[in-house]
């Protein structure tokens, strides 16, 4: 392993321990810390707030959090904040987040084992959101490069195809050594087209199912409008029209179900 | 960003919990196919929940929505522009605190409810046993936003009607930290390899995607 | 494409490098007694022995001597009412041997928590005891208000 790589990992480690309590709390402070650590490696030791944990103890939370019921953390990293960071910083942050996630998973597992409440379980989701956002940013950058250089996104090619049941599915292409016309195994394995009596019958029933779901949804919204009108005859009809666009509200107003259980005022 | 959208975005996230976490803690999956290639992705899970003053990520909510318990559907009248947020001063129109004003402490949009600090309260008995009558605590009951309350005008402290209007303002965005990203004609991987001093001379052989 | 895409290998291709690894590892309490230098991990099912080794060596800076893995079958359960069967996901366990000089015992995380819980229960007990005392004191004079005697 090259020395620079080692340095990088060391950096990630120091930064993590320094900001372990507020990893997610304040991205601004964290980035100041991170950039400070990145620029002046020898002085990174100065900013430790919590004792550095080595090796296997990195899989556990800070010992002072062990007995707590609630751990205060901030929010996840947003895409906008990550977009302005350099590739190197994103790479370091990825490993910080990876270690944090391992730590949280370990703690959650142990808490479940010992029938204890895992404090602040939303931390796992926050780390996950941060990692997803980070990967999204990296992907954006790579796509931009590929579009500039090759005119293609560089993503895995996908297309909509019909499968053997006659349903539209998303087909993700795979990488092959041979071109398609030479790849006999692949030609034999794939099914082209669909048909036959069984498939037609299946499609008929499948479409019936879809239609039924649609019909039921329509009935449900119709009933809901009638119930609202029944309980609240003076409800704003414009709001109802905007909320339920496919329901004929004027027709429903005179429906029997929409009439409330009261004597109508005569002559009004 | 329009202020309506901004406030609406604050509506459910005030507890600093991500949407994914709330979704995950509320979820009740009864049965699902293994996520393998030879199975269709099918899930049987609870779709309808009874929302109360217990928030969806709490144990009380889970207890009220135990698996295989069904409760009658609650009719919710649609509220187009939600206008009641935490910290708003409102006036109560019903109940024993009729006419009093208070501050909204909790918003429950799933039921069109708000909870107002120190108003519309009742006593509740907690921890009762055979020998012990329990501890009495004061708890606030929710108020319906369309029928039970109205907003208070901060200038004269009287209940008012209100209306949403638009202001034409450009989108403002706040960004933290310095910009360290410099656009470069390289992918993420190429940049990191250059940073670490990894040299790669070999080029991948041609492959086909299909 | 995701930097984690595993390209097919042809002779002369560049070395495969993973820049943003997505594998997770949990340190779990061993089910059976292990030597002090063996640590049990629960890992992503896709991880190989080599992945586990390089993960620990490169990211956590741990000296690894040996890694063994096994896949534990997820438990199946039959629903009591409807009879359908549900199965939990399979889990991969990795048994990592560290050098003989290293020693690791799984820490007790919840020692202090029991004390805190005891304290909370104590306050509830105190209020119960107070109520009982109040009843005892007022046994012979029913109907007197609470402020009657201090």
pLDDT at C145 over 90: no
Share of chain C above pLDDT 70, in %: 95
Q: What is the mean pLDDT of residues B184-205?
A: 92
Interchain contact, A55 vs C61, CB within 8 Å: yes
The torsion angles phi and psi of A247, rounded to 5 degrees, stand at -110, 130
Question: Which CATH number describes the domain made up of C25-97?
Answer: 3.30.70.330
The verdict on residue B185 lying in a domain is no
Distance to chain A for B181, nearest Cα, Å: 4
Cα separation of A21 and A49, whole Å?
9
Neighbours of chain C (3+ CB pairs under 8 A): A, B
Cα separation of A177 and A216, whole Å?
50
- Which chain C residues are closer than 8 Å to B192 by Cβ? 19
| DSSP H or E segment with residue A254 | none
Cβ-based neighbours of B44, under 8 Å, separated by 6 or more: B29, B30, B31, B32
DSSP output for A204-219: HHHHHHHHHHHHHHHH
Q: Higher model confidence: residue C115 or residue B192?
A: B192
Band of residue C2 on the pLDDT scale cut at 50, 70, 90: low
Q: What is the mean pLDDT of residues C44-71?
A: 95
Q: Which of A71-85, B3-17, C89-103 has the lowest mean pLDDT?
A: B3-17
* Res C75: pLDDT: 93
Q: Higher model confidence: residue B61 or residue A233?
A: B61
pLDDT at A28 over 80: no
Contact A118, A111 (CB under 8 A): yes
Interchain contact, B197 vs A8, CB within 8 Å: no
Interface A–C counts its CB contacts (< 8 A) at 83
Instruction: Tell whether B106 and B136 lie within a shared domain.
Output: yes
Strand-pairing partners, residue C146, are none
Q: What is the mean pLDDT of residues C83-99?
A: 93
pLDDT at B72 over 50: yes
Range of the domain at B43: 1-74
Which of B135, B189, B205 shows the shortest C-beta gap to C12? B205
Share of chain A above pLDDT 70, in %: 79
What is chain B's alpha carbon radius of gyration, rounded to the nearest angstrom?
A: 26
Q: Specify the number of domains making up chain B.
A: 2
Which of A35, A122, A231 shows the shortest C-beta gap to B17? A122
Instruction: Tell whether B45 and B99 lie within a shared domain.
Output: no
3-class SS of residue B107 = strand
Mutate one of A94, A96, A110 to test the C interface: name it (highest C CB count within 10 A): A110
A 150-169 residues with CB below 8 A of C?
154-156
Interchain contact, C26 vs A109, CB within 8 Å: yes
Interchain contact, C124 vs B203, CB within 8 Å: no
What are the CA-CA distances from residue C63 to residues A56, A267, C94 (Å)? 11, 92, 15
3-class SS of residue B168 = coil
Band of residue A18 on the pLDDT scale cut at 50, 70, 90: very low
Q: Which two tokens stand for residue C51?
A: 């992945």
Among candidates C70, C61, C107, C74, which has minimal Cα distance to C92?
A: C70
Instruction: Tell whether B89 and B149 lie within a shared domain.
Output: yes
Interchain contact, C81 vs B188, CB within 8 Å: no
The complex's ipTM?
0.85
Contact C114, A116 (CB under 8 A): no
Instruction: Tell whether B91 and B69 lie within a shared domain.
Output: no
pTM: 0.81
Share of chain B above pLDDT 70, in %: 89
Strand-pairing partners, residue B152, are B159
Contact B139, B130 (CB under 8 A): no
Mutate one of C8, C17, C20, C55 to test the A interface: name it (highest A CB count within 10 A): C20
Contact A213, A242 (CB under 8 A): no
* Res C112: pLDDT: 84
- Give the number of residues written for chain B: 210
Cα separation of B130 and C131, whole Å?
13
Give residue A203's Cα distance to chain centre. Answer: 33
CB of C105 within 8 Å of any CB in chain A? no
Q: What is the mean pLDDT of residues C83-95?
A: 93
Strand-pairing partners, residue C42, are C26, C93
Cβ-based neighbours of B93, under 8 Å, separated by 6 or more: B99, B147, B148, B149, B150, B159
Contact B2, B166 (CB under 8 A): yes
Strand-pairing partners, residue B32, are B43
């Amino acid at each position: 392993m090259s020395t620079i790589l080692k340095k990088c990992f060391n950096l990630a480690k120091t930064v993590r321990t320094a900001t372990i309590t507020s990893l997610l709390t304040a991205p601004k402070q964290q980035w100041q810390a991170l950039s400070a650590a990145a620029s002046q490696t020898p002085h990174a030791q100065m900013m430790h707030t919590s004792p550095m944990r080595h090796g296997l103890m990195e899989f556990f939370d800070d010992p002072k959090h062990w007995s707590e019921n609630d751990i205060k953390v901030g929010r996840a990293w947003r895409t906008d904040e990550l977009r302005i960071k350099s590739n190197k910083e994103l790479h370091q942050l990825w490993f910080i987040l990876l270690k944090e996630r391992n730590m949280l998973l370990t703690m959650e597992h142990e808490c479940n084992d010992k029938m204890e409440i895992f404090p602040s379980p939303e931390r796992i989701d926050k780390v996950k959101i941060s990692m997803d956002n980070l990967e999204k940013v990296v992907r954006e950058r790579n796509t931009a490069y590929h579009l500039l250089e090759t005119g293609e996104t560089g993503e895995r090619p996908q297309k909509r195809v019909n499968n053997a049941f006659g349903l539209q599915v998303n087909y993700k292409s795979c990488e092959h050594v041979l071109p398609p016309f030479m790849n006999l195994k692949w030609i034999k394995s794939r099914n082209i087209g669909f048909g036959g009596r069984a498939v037609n019958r299946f499609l008929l029933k499948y479409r019936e199912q879809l239609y039924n779901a649609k019909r039921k949804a329509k009935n449900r919204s119709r009933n809901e409008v009638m119930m609202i009108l029944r309980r609240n005859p003076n409800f704003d009809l414009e709001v109802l029209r905007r909320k339920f666009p496919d329901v004929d509200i004027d027709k429903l107003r005179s429906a029997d179900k929409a009439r409330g259980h009261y004597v109508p005022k005569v002559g009004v | 960003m329009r202020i309506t959208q901004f406030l609406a975005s604050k509506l459910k996230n005030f507890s600093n919990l991500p949407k994914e976490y709330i979704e995950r803690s509320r979820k009740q999956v009864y049965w699902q196919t293994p996520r393998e290639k030879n199975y269709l992705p099918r899930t049987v899970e609870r779709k309808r929940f009874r929302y109360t003053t217990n928030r969806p990520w709490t144990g009380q909510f889970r207890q009220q929505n135990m698996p295989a318990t069904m409760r009658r559907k609650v009719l919710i009248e649609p509220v187009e522009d939600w206008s009641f947020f935490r910290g708003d001063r409102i006036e109560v129109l019903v109940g024993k605190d009729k006419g009093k004003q208070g501050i909204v402490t909790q918003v429950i949009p799933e039921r069109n409810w708000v909870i107002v600090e120190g108003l519309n309260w009742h006593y509740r008995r907690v921890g009762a046993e055979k020998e012990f009558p329990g501890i009495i605590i004061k708890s606030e009951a929710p108020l319906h936003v369309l029928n039970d309350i109205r907003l208070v005008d901060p200038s004269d402290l009287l209940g008012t009607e209100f209306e949403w209007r638009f202001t034409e303002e450009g989108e403002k965005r706040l960004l933290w930290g310095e910009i360290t990203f410099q656009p470069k004609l390289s992918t993420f991987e190429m940049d990191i390899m250059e940073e670490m001093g990894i040299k790669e001379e070999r080029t991948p052989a041609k492959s086909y995607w299909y | 494409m995701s930097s984690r895409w595993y390209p097919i290998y042809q002779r002369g291709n560049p070395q495969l490098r993973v820049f943003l690894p997505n594998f997770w590892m949990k340190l779990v309490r061993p089910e059976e007694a292990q030597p002090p230098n063996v640590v049990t991990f629960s890992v992503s099912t896709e991880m190989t022995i080599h992945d586990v080794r390089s993960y620990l060596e490169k990211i956590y800076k741990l000296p690894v001597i040996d890694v063994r893995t096994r896949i534990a079958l997820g438990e199946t359960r039959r629903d009591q009412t409807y009879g359908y069967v549900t199965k939990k996901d399979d889990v991969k366990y990795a048994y990592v041997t560290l050098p003989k000089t290293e020693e690791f015992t799984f820490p007790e995380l919840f020692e202090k928590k029991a004390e805190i819980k005891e304290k909370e229960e104590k306050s509830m007990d105190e209020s119960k005891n107070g109520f009982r005392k109040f009843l005892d004191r007022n046994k012979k004079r029913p109907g007197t208000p609470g402020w009657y005697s201090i």
